[in-house]
Amino acid sequence: MKNFKTLVKDLAPKKFGKFDIIWTCFLVLIIIIGIVAYIDQLIKGQEVTNMRDYALWGIYISNFVFFVATSFVGSVTVAILRLTNNEWRTPLVRIAEIISVAAIVMAGITIMIDMARPDRLLNLFIHARLQSPITWDVFIIPTYILISLLLLYFPLIPDFAILKKYFKKKDPKLSKWYGKLSLNWTGSIAQKAIQTKSIRIIAIMIIPVGLLLQTIDAWLFSTTYRIGWDSTNFAPYFISGALVAGIGALVSVIYVVRKHKKLEYYITDFHFDKLGKLLVLACLTYLYFNINEYLIPAFTSKKGESIHLDTLFTGAYAPLFWSVTIIGLIFPIIILLFKKGRKPLPMFIVGLVVVVGSWWKRFVIVTPTLLHPFLPIQGVPESWHHYFPSLHEWLITVATLAMALLIITLLVRYLPVIPIQRTADELGLSENKIKNTES
Amino acid sequence: MKNQLKFRFIFLALVGAFLLSTSFQNLHAQDVKKNKVRLKADYVKIMDGFSYLKISAGSKIKKQNTKVSNIELNIYNVLDDEKIKIGNVMTNMKGESKFIFKNLNKIKPDSTSTYNILISFKGNDSFKKATKRISFKNANIEAKLIKKDSINYITATLTDASSNKPITDESLDIQVQRLFRPLKIGEEFNNTDQDGTIIVPIEKGIPGIDGILTLEVVLNDNDDYGTVKTLIKAPLGTTIDDESTFNDRTLWSPRSKTPIFLLIFANLIIFGIWAIIIYLILNLLKISKSKI
């Protein structure tokens, strides 16, 4: 049986070990290489990419869509599980919130990378045309970043107060920082009332905002009247896909954090089993929308759409299309339907497969459609009819993924990955006996 | 000695041949450089409008018909042996130009009431000089709409402007103005009678914006009178609605024409969410201040 002290000791952030430093340096190195490639792209222009008149959206946009999808995990695990009174969420929510923040921040950065002239970013606000889904995207992303930060921050306030005390002697400098972030938290009734109310508001608000974000992301495509995108199914298709990507990422990160921080006592097989069930539900929903998205056009398609579908089913993109569908979606469903498949290690492998599958799935959504416009462009070089990212695009994209992992790594380093106060309350270990049940 | 003479002779012959060929080459080169310009001109008169000459300049260069652009053409009124300059024009990139007669009365016709115009190009480094003479008489067309036995007609009278006498047995075209090319109505040939008049029924069901048809009566490319055209607006068409949404507030219009519903709902959502965000940030301040 744990007492409050041991609980805080278990859950308080710990200094970087040797492995952590190597891992962080590795990520920083990848980011530096990416920044160099990006500076070169800024100097030479987007000529350094393989995007041309046909594939005018490439790997950057598919990467952006992946980040947006992954950020949905915050809405799902925190808000939905909270509103449905699923108590098992407690040790998982903080990591979900961290992933959410990292993913949505990187989505914002990635979309700027895709802009040939990022110095004109302000024009998107000054000359905003409210009919355009791009404008909605410009508004929703900063909004979601802020809500995700608030969702992460509010439940952290009591934990910061605990950490302030805990590090007072061990690391006064860090303790000072935690003190500032704790906003003079004493756990008073008034403070708890405001915090509880605020968290409830965010938990409710983040669901429609999260759905809006995914929907706008889908509408960016479905309002363009292009083969493969012109679909009323697209918004729910994207939302269900976001569930898969988000929960997949959550499972993978939780496994690594649990193992690395030795949190087996707090994050148990039971939690993985529950997450597994949630992931299989998400995968099944996504599979359903995939069938809708591809089967019905297979029946009703006209010439242009048939060419597009042939490219996916049997043509150049068939290996990728079937890989992301079978390996990235159907196999995880089969594995997760069995209890043994929902154990931590199989879940981790499934989570990784799902995340990789989700990333490539966005590539399959974005690229083949662009290569089959209604009006083929005349007189362009043969190479423009195909698209595979250039070295610059790969380096920059990998750097954005590394940046997301770095944000997660740093937040995991300095924040308690499991809510201390709430866990203590649930275990009845609080120093003061007033229960704080919000997180 | 004999050989020396032979060499001298050969040397002089070669030099002579060289000089001769050079001088011929020069002559030949000048011939190649200068091309012949062909001028074409048509006289067009729009009733209640203006009269003009439609001029085009072309040349056959390397067996290919080429438009001659950017050349200056002088326009003269020819009266007996006298040439009076009345203006000049430049050809455009298509080798075409339009010379508008600001006032036809200022140009003098000859004794047969014929106007004689000379178009002259004085030549340049690339083209030889060229002229084109065009003669025409002045004619008028008067058109009006009449209704007989519930049928609408257009009637037009063609007269010689100088003598005011009707011009008989000339075919007039009746056509409705359309976007790309006019729509002919009536018989293929509508010849003027002894009064210089034609009468043509206007078919029902021809569509026009607000039901207005713009009818044209045209004496087309006549040998004596050139082209004479009169326009008359007739409220006899079937009304068509302008389906353009250019001025409407639509989802595809510019930002100044954003649909009202979108302005209201999008702004409500944006300001609603941000109001809550501001409230939450203020709550952070409240937490910071309420220690007890």
SS (H, E, C) B204-273: CCCEEECCCEEEEEEEEEECCCEEEEEEEEECCCEEECCCCCCCCCCCCCCHHHCCHHHHHHHHHHHHHH
How many angstroms away from the CA of A77 is the closest CA of chain B? 21
Distance CA B283, CA A182 (A): 13
How close is the nearest chain A Cα to the Cα of B162, in Å?
Answer: 58
Number of continuous H segments (helices) and E segments (strands) in chain B: 2, 17
What CA–CA distance (Å, rounded) separates A82 from B213? 70
Looking at the DSSP bridge assignments, the partners of residue B79 are B82
Q: A183–B284: do the CB atoms touch at under 8 Å?
A: yes
Report whether B210 contacts B196 (CB < 8 A): no
Examine the pLDDT at A1 and tell me if it is beyond 70: no
Q: Give A81's pLDDT tier (boundaries 50, 70, 90).
A: confident
Distances (CA, A) of B227 to B45, B87, B140, B197, B218: 6, 21, 10, 17, 7
**CB-based contact B171:B260 (threshold 8 Å):** no
Please state whether beta strands B226-234 and B38-46 pair in parallel, antiparallel, or not at all (unpaired). parallel
CATH number of A4-369+382-425: 1.20.1630.10
pLDDT in tens, A53-73: 999 999 999 999 999 999 998
Confirm or reject contact between B253 and chain A (CB < 8 A). yes
Give the pLDDT confidence of A193-238 residue by residue, as tens digits. Answer: 999 999 999 999 999 999 999 999 999 999 988 999 999 999 999 9
Cβ-defined contact of B290 to A188 (cutoff 8 Å): yes
pLDDT value, residue A411? 97
Residue B2 has pLDDT above 80, yes or no: no
Q: Is B264 on the interface with A (CB under 8 A)?
A: no
Q: In what order do the strands lie in the sheet with B115-121?
A: B82-90, B72-79, B115-121, B130-136
- Predicted confidence at residue B277, as pLDDT, reads 97
Whole-Å CA distances, B263 to A82, A419, B170:
34, 41, 63
Which of A183, A188, A195 lies at the smallest CB-CB distance from B292? A188
Mean pLDDT of A411-431: 89
Cβ <8 Å between B290 and A191: yes
CA-based nearest distance B264→chain A, Å: 11
- Contact pairs from chain A to chain B, CB under 8 Å: 70
Range of weakest confidence among A320-329, A407-416, B215-224, B242-251: B242-251
Residue B282 touches partner A, C-beta closer than 8 Å: no
The predicted model gives A252-275 an average pLDDT of: 95
Give the pLDDT confidence of B231-262 residue by residue, as tens digits: 999 999 999 877 788 999 999 999 999 999 99
Residue in chain B nearest A146 by alpha carbon: B277
CB contact under 8 A, A205 and B273: yes
- Select from A139, A184, A201 the Cβ nearest to the Cβ of B276: A201
Percent of chain A residues past pLDDT 70, beyond the cut: 97
Is residue A316 within 8 Å of residue A235, measured between CB atoms? Answer: no
pLDDT at position B215: 95
The answer to whether A91 touches A424, Cβ cutoff 8 Å, is: no
pLDDT of residue A2: 73
A-chain residue closest to B249, CA distance: A131
Contact in structure between A27 and A402 (CB atoms under 8 Å): yes
Contact A246, A354 (CB under 8 A): no
A-chain CB neighbours of B251 within 8 Å are: 131
Q: Half-sphere exposure (CA, 13 Å, Cβ side) for B187? A: 9
A277 burial (CB, 10 Å; 0-12 / 13-18 / 19+) is middle
What's the mean pLDDT when you consider all of chain B?
Answer: 88
Among chain A, residues having any CB pair with chain B shorter than 8 Å are 127-131, 136, 139, 143, 146-147, 150, 153-154, 157, 183-186, 188, 190-191, 194-195, 197-198, 201-202, 205, 209, 212
CA distances from A378 to A51, A53, A56, A428 (A): 17, 11, 16, 72
Please name the member of A139, A190, A198 whose beta carbon is closest to the beta carbon of B292.
A190
Q: How far apart are CA B239 and CA B15, in angstroms?
A: 85
CA nearest B131: which of B140, B139, B143, B119? B119
Is pLDDT of B7 > 70?
no
B255 at interface of A, judged by CB pairs closer than 8 A = yes
Residue A401 · residue A34 · CB < 8 Å: no
pLDDT digits (tens, 9 = 90+) for B195-212: 999 999 999 999 998 899
Q: Which residue in chain A is spatially nearest to B292 when comparing CA positions?
A: A188
Among the residue ranges A253-262, A374-383, B46-55, the one predicted with the least confidence is: A374-383
The pTM (predicted TM-score) of the whole model is 0.74
What residues of B are in contact with residue A205 (Cβ under 8 Å)? 273, 276
Q: What is the mean pLDDT of chain A?
A: 93
Compare CB distances from B273 to A185, A190, A209 and report the shortest one's residue: A209
Nearest C-alpha in B relative to A148: B277
The residue of chain B with its CA nearest to that of A145 is: B277
Lowest mean per-residue pLDDT among A24-28, A139-143, B163-167, B243-247: B243-247
First to last CA, chain A: 23
With H, G, I as helix, E, B as strand and everything else as coil, classify residue A251.
helix
Q: What residues in B contact A130, CB-CB < 8 Å?
A: 255, 258, 262-263, 266
Rounded to an integer, what distance in angstroms lies between the CA atom of residue A25 and that of residue A198?
37
Q: Which residue's structure tokens are 């990187």?
A: A106
Query: Which residue in the set A143, A147, A198 is minimally distant from B283, CB to CB?
Result: A198
Q: Which residues of B148-161 are buried (b: 16+ CB within 10 A; e: fewer)?
A: eeeeebbebbbbbe
Tell me, yes or no, if B146 comes closer than 8 A to chain A by beta carbon: no
Start-end of H helices in A301-390: 303-313, 318-322, 331-337, 344-370
> Is there a contact between B262 and A198 if contact means CB atoms under 8 Å apart?
no
